[in-house]
């Protein structure tokens, strides 16, 4: 996450790791554990989430799996808009063996739509932090593309409901290929259990803390969670022979960019502890990859993810005061906050407010699919960084206007002085991702604001729907 300059009120988020947050996470974990059947996995080993012990399961011989794949019809259309998603819960995934991935069911096509089969389709992917904002959207795309997905999350900044919504949108056939494993990357034991229970072909690693202000107040917490957590993850990966990882980096590693657009080989720096953890982890992956040539790593530097799935059933649901522009605007639009503070209207830009590169979260999710396919197709890829942005800069006032048009709501703003450390303009060079991943963003700022508003309108208080809890 790059720090957004011209927005936000009352300073940074206060959503620190309070006892209350821990208590909530524990409650969520208990609920989720109770909802998960004892046997989660369809392959040789299964984990009992209540005891974290392993049970043996019989795997059908490959020829039988192939015959079943040829016989089973492609999955039913996954997408259904819910009038009131909060009252419909999909429950936990069935314990029965999941159906074959669509890529196999249709004889090698993509997710039932006639696409050529992509490298890695049908593979098993572990998604850390998959219950979070970007995670949920990516998990959904993975399922739609025929991957089997396991999510590990400690619900520090998310809720089980988010994964229920993913299952709801995906439909029962695809949801059968999604399992949830409660776990904390800070725990070596948890990581050991996750990898001992099942073989994963690749990992997408989202789990991390991301609030800049919080990282300034609690750097130790950020190093422990982001850096030590990633080291635990990688140690378990290597021990169990998983050699592909997509890592959530951020445009924050460009620090105060010397020139824009930001190209991947620009000088890197960090402006705060959060940014430093991303920089440290980029270097960490470069170094461990150099020592282990079998390892394949893609570092994805996100610019400013906004928007939501078009159903409006999943989206960003920050705890406490939002750190990012769009969640803040959305809360003003639904009456949760009186106005938007805009920090600085005297930048040398077209309207005086700072410029950022906003990217639709669904485009971002597709960028992960492209990265995964690249990892599967390129054994000697090493460790490579790609920007995920649109290449277009938008000012804060332009975002406000686009949101007003999408929502029909007036967003009151208050102009405040610039904040120290904020830069004038940050946007991505997109050439490398386009050329090497075959990926580029499809959605514009109007689409992003439309989908953000749809999510806000349907879920004004986020997943919980509870005004008291959220304000």
Ligand X SMILES: NC(=O)c1ccc[n+]([C@@H]2O[C@H](COP(=O)([O-])OP(=O)(O)OC[C@H]3O[C@@H](n4cnc5c(N)ncnc54)[C@H](O)[C@@H]3O)[C@@H](O)[C@H]2O)c1
Q: Is 182 in the site for ligand X (CB under 6 A)?
A: no
Alpha-carbon distance of 459 to 465, in angstroms, equals: 7
Q: Is 357 in the site for ligand X (CB under 6 A)?
A: no
Nearest-approach distance from CB 57 to ligand X, in angstroms: 25
Q: Is 158 in the site for ligand X (CB under 6 A)?
A: yes
Out of 274, 343, 347, 386, the active site residue is 274
Interface with ligand X in residues 209-268 (CB under 6 A):
209-210, 225, 229, 248, 250
Map residue 103 onto helix, strand or coil: helix
Q: Which stretch binds ligand X (CB under 6 A): 27-35, 116-124, 152-160, 261-269?
A: 152-160
Q: Is 157 in the site for ligand X (CB under 6 A)?
A: yes
Q: Is 302 in the site for ligand X (CB under 6 A)?
A: yes
Q: Is 305 in the site for ligand X (CB under 6 A)?
A: yes
Q: Is 91 exposed, middle or buried (0-12, 13-18, 19+ CB in 10 A)?
A: exposed
Contact yes or no for 69/100 (Cβ under 8 A): yes
Considering only 207, 295, 299, 332, the residue that binds ligand X (CB under 6 A) is 207
Q: Is 193 in the site for ligand X (CB under 6 A)?
A: no
Q: Is 186 in the site for ligand X (CB under 6 A)?
A: yes
The answer to whether the Cα torsion of 30, 365, 72, 46 is positive or negative is negative
Is 274 a known active-site residue?
yes
Q: Which stretch binds ligand X (CB under 6 A): 35-43, 181-189, 378-386, 392-400?
A: 181-189
Alpha-carbon distance of 279 to 285, in angstroms, equals: 10
Q: Which stretch binds ligand X (CB under 6 A): 27-35, 204-212, 265-273, 377-385?
A: 204-212
Considering only 15, 100, 171, 208, the residue that binds ligand X (CB under 6 A) is 208
C-alpha to C-alpha distances, 133 to 307, 346, 366, 391, nearest whole angstrom = 10, 32, 14, 22
And the tokens for 421?
A: 């450390």
**Closer by beta carbon to ligand X, 106 or else 394:** 394
Alpha-carbon distance of 296 to 285, in angstroms, equals: 10
Nearest-approach distance from CB 276 to ligand X, in angstroms: 12
Contact yes or no for 103/145 (Cβ under 8 A): yes
**Residue by residue, what is the 3-state secondary structure of 288-325?**
HHHHCCCCEEEEEEECEEECCCCCCCCCCCCCCCCCCH
Question: β-strands 178-182, 53-56: how paired?
Answer: unpaired
| Residue nearest ligand X, Cβ-based | 132
Q: Is 131 in the site for ligand X (CB under 6 A)?
A: yes
Considering only 155, 222, 254, 463, the residue that binds ligand X (CB under 6 A) is 155
Q: Which helix (H) or strand (E) holds 384?
A: strand 383-388
**Closer by beta carbon to ligand X, 103 or else 209:** 209
Considering only 147, 195, 206, 439, the residue that binds ligand X (CB under 6 A) is 206
Q: Is 154 in the site for ligand X (CB under 6 A)?
A: yes
Nearest-approach distance from CB 248 to ligand X, in angstroms: 3
Q: Which stretch binds ligand X (CB under 6 A): 53-61, 71-79, 130-138, 326-334?
A: 130-138
Nearest-approach distance from CB 137 to ligand X, in angstroms: 8
Q: Is 133 in the site for ligand X (CB under 6 A)?
A: yes
Nearest-approach distance from CB 327 to ligand X, in angstroms: 10
C-alpha to C-alpha distances, 10 to 14, 339, 416, nearest whole angstrom = 10, 11, 11
Q: For residue 48, what is the DSSP state?
A: E
Preceding omega of 261 cis (within 30 degrees of 0): yes
Contact yes or no for 80/168 (Cβ under 8 A): yes
Alpha-carbon distance of 338 to 345, in angstroms, equals: 20
Report, as residue numbers or ranges, the catalytic residues: 274
- Can you give the binding site for ligand X, defined by CB under 6 A? 1, 129, 131-135, 153-158, 184-186, 206-210, 225, 229, 248, 250, 302, 305, 324
């Amino acid at each position: 996450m790059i720090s957004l300059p011209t927005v936000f009120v009352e300073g940074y988020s206060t959503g620190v790791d309070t006892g209350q947050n821990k208590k909530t996470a524990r409650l969520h974990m208990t609920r989720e554990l109770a909802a998960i059947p004892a046997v989660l996995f369809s392959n040789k080993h299964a984990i009992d989430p209540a005891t974290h012990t392993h049970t043996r399961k019989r795997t059908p011989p490959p020829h039988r799996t192939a015959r079943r794949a040829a016989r089973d019809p492609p999955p039913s259309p996954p997408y259904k808009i819910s009038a009131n998603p909060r009252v419909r819960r999909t429950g936990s995934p069935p314990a029965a063996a999941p159906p074959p991935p669509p890529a196999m069911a249709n004889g090698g096509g993509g997710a039932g739509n006639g696409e050529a089969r992509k490298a890695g389709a049908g593979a098993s992917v572990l998604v850390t932090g998959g219950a979070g904002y970007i995670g949920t959207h990516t998990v959904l795309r993975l399922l739609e593309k025929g991957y089997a997905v396991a999510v590990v999350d400690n619900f520090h900044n998310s809720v089980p409901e988010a994964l229920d919504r993913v299952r709801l949108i995906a439909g029962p056939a695809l949801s059968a290929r999604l399992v949830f494993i409660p776990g904390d990357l800070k725990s070596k034991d948890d990581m050991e259990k996750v990898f001992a229970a099942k073989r994963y072909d690749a990992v997408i690693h989202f789990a991390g803390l991301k609030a800049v202000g919080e990282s300034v107040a609690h750097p130790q917490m950020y190093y422990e969670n982001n850096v030590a957590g990633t080291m635990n993850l990688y140690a378990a990966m290597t021990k169990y022979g998983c050699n592909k990882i997509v890592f959530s980096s951020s445009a924050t590693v460009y620090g105060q960019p010397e020139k824009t657009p930001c190209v991947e080989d620009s000088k890197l720096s960090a402006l705060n502890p959060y940014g430093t953890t991303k920089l440290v982890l980029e270097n960490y992956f470069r170094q461990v990859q150099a020592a282990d040539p079998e390892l394949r790593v893609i570092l994805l530097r996100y610019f400013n993810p906004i928007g939501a799935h078009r159903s409006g059933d999943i989206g960003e649901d920050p705890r406490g005061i939002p750190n990012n522009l769009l969640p803040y605007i959305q809360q003003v639009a639904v009456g949760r906050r009186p106005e938007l503070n805009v920090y600085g209207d005297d930048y040398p830009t077209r309207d005086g407010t700072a410029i950022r590169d906003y990217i639709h979260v669904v485009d971002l999710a597709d960028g992960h699919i492209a990265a995964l396919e690249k990892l599967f197709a390129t054994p000697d890829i090493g460790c490579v960084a790609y920007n995920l942005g649109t290449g277009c800069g938008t000012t804060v006032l332009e975002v406000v206007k686009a949101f007003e048009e999408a929502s029909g709501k007036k967003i009151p703003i208050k102009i405040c002085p610039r904040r120290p450390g904020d830069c004038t303009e940050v946007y991505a060079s997109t050439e490398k991702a386009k050329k090497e991943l075959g990926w580029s963003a499809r959605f514009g700022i109007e689409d992003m604001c439309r989908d953000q508003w749809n999510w806000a309108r349907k879920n004004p208080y986020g997943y919980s729907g509870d005004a008291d809890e959220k304000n």
